[in-house]
Amino acid sequence: MGSGLGKFIKTLQLDTRLLGMIGAFLLIAIVFNIATGGTFLTPRNLFNLTLQTASVAVMATGMVFVIVTRNIDLSIGSIVGVVGMVMGLVQAFWLPEIVGFGSPVIVIVTVLVGIGLGMLIGGLQGWMIGYLMIPSFIVTLGGLLIWRGAAWWVTRGTTVSPLDPTFVKLGGASGTIGVTASWALALSGIVATIWFLIHTRRKHISHDFAVKPVWAEFALGGIMVAAIAGITAVINAYEVPTRVLQRRFERAGLEMPEGYTEAYGFPISVLIVIAVAIAMTIVARKTRFGRYVFAIGGNPDAAELSGINTRMMTVKVFVLMGGLAGVAAIIASARLASAGNDLGTLDELRVIAAAVIGGTALAGGVGTIYGAILGAFIMQSLVSGMGMVGVDAPFQNIIVGAVLILAVWVDIVYRRKTGEA
């Protein structure tokens, strides 16, 4: 039976590391679900897990590129903090005096300022690493201290609140798209998945590449379609509490119909993660920039001799990482509906752990976007589950640290056995 399953996985050309991570998540989920009396796997908790994971998942996609090029970024948590504080000032104090409270311009400008500032900081650090040849560990360790101090300095440690109501929806806690739009999105994803499988098969055949048996294509497509539909069904199963619906009807001067229910659907922050994941996957696999990133990680000297400007590529990678930190700051501050100078504290460790657990090699050259996102979800599930069963925070850190070390060791063993090391 074991050999049959192995043959089935090999025929479908499934990523065994991805299957291992899915298995690890299922094991964590089952254990915590039993320990919490069935609470962990409820639609409400899974919905909250996606909200809590979103900002780290966005940054983890950028950290893949950073680590693949044999660098590290310890400053991203502090960048989230300073960007969040600046965005708080922009939308709560500066712009309302110019365009008035509630103007749609506030959200647009705030988002552009946040992403732009993150890219500027990332570019500055990338320039020091690429052109001044200062090790990334030192530059970003200094950045961790500098930008955390700057986050406090922006408002002298005062928390900025409340934020613009429209901006707050980007965090997902109060911004969802509803059941109908969620199923429409899922249907679009299913159609895109089927098209991608058909297109890839035809392309391989046209180039005389080996292809999977037709039944394997149908099986793989069925698995992916079932996954999309299943995730959507779980998210749409989380209903808006009755008291919240009643207050909404009361504010509108209406009486809520008896038996009326409504579900949240996908949070906007999750849609941002999906968009970032798709964009970063395309960049990694289909663009010259992505090929250069992995070429540099595989062999920096050979990449430079082949004509790749490795110094400028380093700057670009850190600009991208800074921009994604800006996106994460948008999600994190919007979810909390406030901007405090402690925003993003320890996020750098969570993001690095997510990328490594997701299969990104610290030696460089190897990493996947989907692996990093799944790694972020596994990390958050572990932390959230321990919190639900009453594990003390210090012991949580011990367990998370041990899991990180175990994940790296497993990755090393895997690469030795598969000949990747």
Task: Please report, as a single letter, which amino acid is at residue 308.
Answer: I
The structural domains of the chain, with segments of one domain joined by +, span 13-174+273-418, 176-266
157 contacts: CB under 8 Å, gap ≥ 6 = 341
CA 92, 93, 95, 96 dihedral sign is positive
Give pLDDT, residue 405: 86
Place of tokens 């997902």: 172
> What's the CA gap between 28 and 25, in Å, rounded?
5
Place of tokens 């992403």: 115
Give one DSSP letter per residue of 241-289, joined into a string. Answer: PHHHHHHHHHHTT-PPPTT---B-BSBHHHHHHHHHHHHHHHHHHHSHH
The stretches of 36-69 forming alpha helices (DSSP H) are 43-68
SS3 263: strand
**Once rounded to an integer, what is the mean pLDDT over residues 329-354?**
94
Distances (CA, A) of 102 to 41, 163, 169, 333: 38, 10, 13, 18
User: By C-alpha distance, which of 162, 169, 177 is closest to 104?
Assistant: 169
**Once rounded to an integer, what is the mean pLDDT over residues 190-206?**
92
Give pLDDT, residue 2: 53
pLDDT digits (tens, 9 = 90+) for 57-77: 999 999 999 999 999 999 999
Mean pLDDT of the chain: 92
Rounded-to-10 torsion of CA 192, 195, 200, 206 = -150
pLDDT of residue 1 exceeding 60, the answer is no
pLDDT digits (tens, 9 = 90+) for 232-266: 999 999 999 888 888 888 888 888 888 888 999 99
Q: What fold, for 13-174+273-418? A: ABC transporter involved in vitamin B12 uptake, BtuC (1.10.3470)
Give pLDDT, residue 403: 84
pLDDT digits (tens, 9 = 90+) for 296-327: 999 999 999 999 999 999 999 999 999 999 99
pLDDT digits (tens, 9 = 90+) for 90-119: 999 999 988 988 899 999 999 999 999 999
Residues above pLDDT 90, as percent of the chain: 70
> What's the CA gap between 6 and 325, in Å, rounded?
39
With vertex at residue 273, the alpha carbon angle to CA 270 and CA 278, rounded to the nearest 5 degrees, is: 130
- Per DSSP (E only), the strands in 7-159 are none
Specify whether the CB–CB gap between 389 and 35 falls below 8 A. Answer: yes
Specify whether the CB–CB gap between 162 and 173 falls below 8 A. Answer: no
CA 198, 199, 203, 206 dihedral sign is positive
**Once rounded to an integer, what is the mean pLDDT over residues 149-172?**
92
Assess whether the previous peptide bond of 43 is cis (omega < 30° from 0). Answer: no
Give pLDDT, residue 89: 94
User: By C-alpha distance, which of 58, 76, 66 is closest to 314?
Assistant: 66
Give pLDDT, residue 3: 61
Q: Which of 16-25, 31-40, 43-52, 309-318 bottoms out in mean pLDDT, i.e. has the lowest?
A: 16-25
185 contacts: CB under 8 Å, gap ≥ 6 = 177, 232, 266, 271
With vertex at residue 171, the alpha carbon angle to CA 168 and CA 175, rounded to the nearest 5 degrees, is: 75
Beta bridge partner(s), residue 215: none
